[in-house]
Amino acid sequence: MKRCQNVFRPWWIPLGWLMALMFANVAWATPEQQVHQALERYRQAQETQDPSARQEGFRQAQRLFATLVETVTPNADLYANLGAAALQAGDIGRAIWAFRSALALDPGHERSLTNLHFARGLLPSWLPRPEAHEPWDRLSGWALIPAAQRSLPGGVLFLLAAAGIALAIRFDSLLTRSLAPIPILLWLLVSFPGLLFDREKNDHGVILQEETLARAADSINAPVSFSHPLPAGTEVRVLEHRDGWTRIALANDHNAWIRASALIMIDIK
């Protein structure tokens, strides 16, 4: 028996070192290299003809993009890439979450808008869907600018508004009184879209678990609220958290309780 073990031991030692080097290569790769690896894996999956191998390739690309989202400060393009890989891999819940996360960073991200519309179309027809923000987005150009970039002009306009009020009080002339409201109105136009989108990030989520039962109360014995279980990809607004349960509202404002573990929040780093 010992002789047999000695014969096979040299085969396992190099194999172990090879696996360790492979994991180390992923761990030591720079973010740029990891992006290249994920994009290359996505491209390889697109060129694969076998359906099972193709889907597995997209799953691998999804995992690589998901790792990047957790290790770097993500932008809208990175979330869009994660969503595209998840969509091709059949993970519609994670795909919709990624597209919504991209749009929370950049409401005008065209690729995410297009893919989100397509992904929503894959969900059951009876499921309520959120209304798009296009009308408001078109009315205000500031709604298309990420919140971090809107904060600087908003701060400048706030200072101008304060200075205008001070000048109007100090000189009490028709000209200063007429000009003072202008920076105030501009500050309101810049700030309110930012407040709208920032709030959306904090209380919106997407269900990841398939066939999620929605109940009338925060108990496993409570009656089911809807005639159908909620599919992965259901977009909800979070109303309350309580002891492992979350009260949600669908796009039609019907609310129910689900297990908190079935949900992922749209929360940008």
User: Residue 260: which CATH number?
Assistant: 2.30.30.40
- Mean pLDDT taken over the chain: 80
Whether residues 110 and 144 share a domain: the answer is: no
Whether residues 259 and 194 share a domain: the answer is: no
Give just the sign of the alpha carbon dihedral 86, 84, 251, 127. Answer: negative
Q: What's the rounded mean pLDDT across residues 3-21?
A: 54
**Which of 122, 149, 169 is at the close of a domain?**
122
Whether residues 158 and 111 share a domain: the answer is: no
Question: Quick one: pLDDT at residue 136?
Answer: 41
Whether residues 160 and 237 share a domain: the answer is: no
Give the pairing type, strands 263-265 and 235-242: unpaired
Question: Quick one: pLDDT at residue 154?
Answer: 63
For residue range 73-132, list pLDDT tens digits in order.
Answer: 889 999 999 999 999 999 999 999 999 999 988 888 999 999 999 999 999 999 998 876
Looking at the domain assignment, is residue 6 inside a domain? Answer: no
CA dist 149 to 106, 110, 152, 156, 267, Å? 10, 19, 6, 12, 18
CA atoms within 13 A on the CB side of 241: 10
pTM over 0.95: no
Question: Quick one: pLDDT at residue 73?
Answer: 85
Question: Quick one: pLDDT at residue 50?
Answer: 93
User: What band does 263 get if pLDDT is binned at 50, 70 and 90?
Assistant: very high
Question: Quick one: pLDDT at residue 8?
Answer: 47
- Considering its fold, how many domains does the chain have in total? 3
Q: What's the rounded mean pLDDT across residues 155-166?
A: 72
Whether residues 56 and 100 share a domain: the answer is: yes
Q: What's the rounded mean pLDDT across residues 164-171?
A: 72
Cβ-contact 218, 257 below 8 angstroms: yes
Weakest mean pLDDT among 65-69, 103-107, 150-154, 245-249: 150-154
CA dist 176 to 169, 170, 171, Å? 9, 9, 7
- Expressed as residue numbers, the domain containing 72 is 17-122
Question: Quick one: pLDDT at residue 108?
Answer: 87
Question: Quick one: pLDDT at residue 141?
Answer: 45
**What percentage of the chain reaches a pLDDT higher than 70?**
70
Question: Quick one: pLDDT at residue 176?
Answer: 66
Q: CATH number, domain at 116?
A: 1.25.40.10
